[in-house]
Amino acid sequence: MKLTENELREVIKLLESGKPLSDEYRFKLFDDSREVELMWNGKTNEVESAVLPFQAIEHVDEPRAERDTSAQASLFEYDDRGRQIGGWTNKLIWGDNKYILSSLKNGPLRQEIEDNGGIKLIYIDPPFDVGADFSMDIEIGGETLTKNPNVLEEIAYRDTWGKGADSFIAMIYERLSLMHDLLAEDGSIYVHCDWRVTAYMKAILDEIFGPDSFQNEIIWHFIKGASGNERFGRKHQTIWYYAKQDESKKFNRKEIGVEYNPETIARAQRGEARYNVSAEALQERGKNPGDVWSDLHPVQGNSIENTGYDTQKPEKLLERIIKASSNEGDIVADFFMGSGTTLDVAEKLGRKWIGSDLGKFSIHTARKRMIKVQRQMKTDGKDYRAFEILNLGKYQRQHYIGTNQKLKEQKFIDLILAAYKAEKIQGFETFIGQKAGRMVAVGPINMQLGRDYVETMVKEAIEKSISRVDILAFEYEMGLTPHVQEEAKQKGVDLALKIIPPEVFDKRAVEKGQVKFYDVAYIEVKPHHDKHSIAIELIDFSVFYNQDTDEADLKSGQTKIVIRDGQVVKLTKDKNSDIVSSEVLTKEWTDWIDYWSVDFNYESRKELIPVFKAGVRQTLEGDTSVEDIKKENIEEKWTGNYIFENEWQDFRTKKKRQLDLKTPLHEFSQSGRYKIAVKVVDIFGNDTTKVIEVNI
């Protein structure tokens, strides 16, 4: 460090007055040899390092056959068509990809990834449109209902674009840093963006991967659309292609050839000197598509591919990328997966995959999509892989408590009460709040709320003449509802069970009163016995949502779709009288159901999570090198939960709007008492599970 006397005096003066130093002192005071660097307000080199165990929610092994589901049909008829491949299980992960990437990079699951060759290809299509949101259009009763984003999604949008380019760059920089570390040494990454952020993205990728890792600036050029009178039509998006190490990257030129122009083939057939290759050879290998792709069209509204996502990319686009930079059996990942196009194409091309998204509706859309892919691949005689649905679940809550200024559990409960707008009270064993004449109890922070807790609470309510109670919990023990409510009602206690939404983690959402607590949904099923077989019939499902219930902003002659107390209602204001009329669109309870599935032998598969052995490293510390993540340092731990094995499922598609409400007969190999789990996913992507016991 060499400063003149005048420079030293200026630095001291600026520091004493609390004013910032000019940029020139950054290079004079610190040893920084970088000639070019991207800077933004709040830049930091800190990268998330938490390791949160992944919670297994569901396992989809063998898809339901597409056939008649009469009572005589067996669940899976044996044939020699496509089969499930053993070994690696594909992963569909719900949650914040910052924590997901950190946990994959530093946690025990890294060992499984490395054993399968590491992640060879990452494709991401991050939210580069500042005007985009998480709303979705859902068809119901012949009308279109707009599903508003939940507060967690709104917070994600605000964190991405709240400070404009600064917050977007901060968000994507940290995640790309984690992806770089997680990517295999011979891996590649493709980052999709448009004119809003493409310049920033190039600078970020150069800084993280190094300018020598740059491979291509791919221009995806649209043939149609983008006309305008005020400027040239915006008819392309950019895909940045980088390799972690240029010398070891994969690039399968022979897999991505496109057709030559007919005139080129004709010249080769005539033997013109310019082409030292036969027409047959040209046709076999195809032409290099170059870095301007104008032969791949966006997803159209009437396309069979269309899932309803505005940002959905065509399968042909991902097919070219995946074929170019990965081989069969390689792991392909997409951490902003949206509707799951990357996973869809990866499965069809024989790749392993990892996909994640913050939106629960995205996870549900991808689940349906991948089951359809499995079914088709089995029908076509192609092999497929099982996939599992994971999330960070209760472990993310534990991390929040442990890292948010060492927030104690009591302060966390206070936060929940504030979000519920309840007044804190004392002097009770189980009740900690009061709201509108109802006592409020908050369930355990890091485990499911079970029957014992409810019974203790009901006992105290009876002893102290309390007749109305709200219980708030993150998760409820499977099969707990609605039975405990009926039992409590018989004892004179009106019991409401409500779900604590993830949005309580955001202080801003709590302060603005944006957090909504929903009642637990209700499922009713009926088993049908036939000797050693059983079929399950879904006979009722109820939800209690509310959305956009305010009529104040309804203008004369205008129509609005709202949700009131679990009913989708169409409101219309007469343009002459201003009288508002209403029409219920959810004519049947089945209108709320998008998907349902059955595990005929629940509790047959324990949820085992890989964790570091005691003394190796505490689970939540993080920042571990690949060398430290060894099999001898990892053990499996039973969480006390069971994995829902998806043995049968039915769901709505564009072509199939009606649901089968009764499963085929499932045959059990031996007599005994079994637990059967039934999962229902509503049109918003929220799932509810019920467990029943049967004697066989």
Separation of alpha carbons 324 and 606, rounded Å: 39
Please state, as a whole number, how many other Cβ atoms lie within 10 Å of the Cβ of residue 41: 11
Q: Which amino acid is residue 266, in one-letter code?
A: A
The stretch 475-484 carries a mean pLDDT of 70
> Which residues are CB-neighbours of 557 under 8 A, at least 6 positions away?
573, 574, 575
Asked if residues 646 and 389 have their Cβ atoms less than 8 Å apart, the reply is: no
Separation of alpha carbons 375 and 192, rounded Å: 30
Q: Is the pLDDT of residue 187 over 90?
A: yes
Candidates 587, 592, 610, 576; CA nearest to 543 is 592
- On the question of a cis peptide bond just before residue 108, with omega within 30 degrees of 0, the verdict is no
Separation of alpha carbons 184 and 207, rounded Å: 18
pLDDT in tens, 158-178: 667 666 778 888 899 999 999
The stretch 544-570 carries a mean pLDDT of 80
CATH number of 408-519: 3.40.1350
323 three-class SS: helix
Please state, as a whole number, how many other Cβ atoms lie within 10 Å of the Cβ of residue 263: 8
Q: Which residue has the higher pLDDT, 308 or 89?
A: 89
Confidence of residue 188 (pLDDT cuts 50, 70, 90): very high
Separation of alpha carbons 570 and 556, rounded Å: 14
Going from N- to C-terminal start, the domains of the chain cover 1-33, 55-258+295-391, 259-288, 408-519, 522-605+643-695
pLDDT in tens, 579-632: 888 888 888 999 999 999 999 999 888 888 887 777 665 443 444 555 567 777
Q: Is the pLDDT of residue 22 over 70?
A: yes
Q: Can you spell out the DSSP letters for 627-656? A: GG--GGGEEEEEEEEE-EEE-EEEE--SS-
Q: Is the pLDDT of residue 266 over 70?
A: yes
Asked if residues 332 and 346 have their Cβ atoms less than 8 Å apart, the reply is: yes
The stretch 266-294 carries a mean pLDDT of 85
CATH number of 55-258+295-391: 3.40.50.150
Q: 302-316, 365-379, 527-541: which range is least confident on average?
A: 302-316
Asked if residues 291 and 218 have their Cβ atoms less than 8 Å apart, the reply is: yes
Confidence of residue 137 (pLDDT cuts 50, 70, 90): confident
Question: CA 299, 303, 307, 313: dihedral to nearest 10 degrees?
Answer: -20
pLDDT at 269: 86
Q: 162-166, 245-249, 322-326: which range is least confident on average?
A: 162-166
Candidates 597, 595, 598, 693; CA nearest to 651 is 595
pLDDT at 69: 36
Strand ranges for 95-159 from DSSP E? 119-124, 136-140, 143-147
Q: Which residue has the higher pLDDT, 522 or 110?
A: 110
pLDDT at 424: 93
- Residue given tokens 């409820």 in the structure block: 476
Asked if residues 665 and 648 have their Cβ atoms less than 8 Å apart, the reply is: no
Architecture of 522-605+643-695 per CATH?
Sandwich (2.60)
pLDDT at 177: 96
What is the bridge-based pairing of β-strands 468-473 and 438-442?
Answer: parallel
The stretch 560-575 carries a mean pLDDT of 85
465 three-class SS: coil
Please state, as a whole number, how many other Cβ atoms lie within 10 Å of the Cβ of residue 56: 23
Q: Is the pLDDT of residue 662 over 50?
A: yes
Residue 581, judged by CB atoms within 10 A of its CB (0-12, 13-18, 19+), counts as exposed
Q: Is the pLDDT of residue 538 over 70?
A: yes
- Residue given tokens 């089969």 in the structure block: 83
Residue 183, judged by CB atoms within 10 A of its CB (0-12, 13-18, 19+), counts as buried
Separation of alpha carbons 444 and 369, rounded Å: 35
pLDDT at 476: 79
The stretch 532-546 carries a mean pLDDT of 90
Burial 359-388 (b: 16+ CB within 10 A, else e): bbbbbbbbbbbbbebbbbbbeeebebbbbb
Candidates 252, 247, 243; CA nearest to 351 is 252
Average pLDDT, rounded, for the chain:
84
pTM for this one? 0.83
The stretch 243-253 carries a mean pLDDT of 93
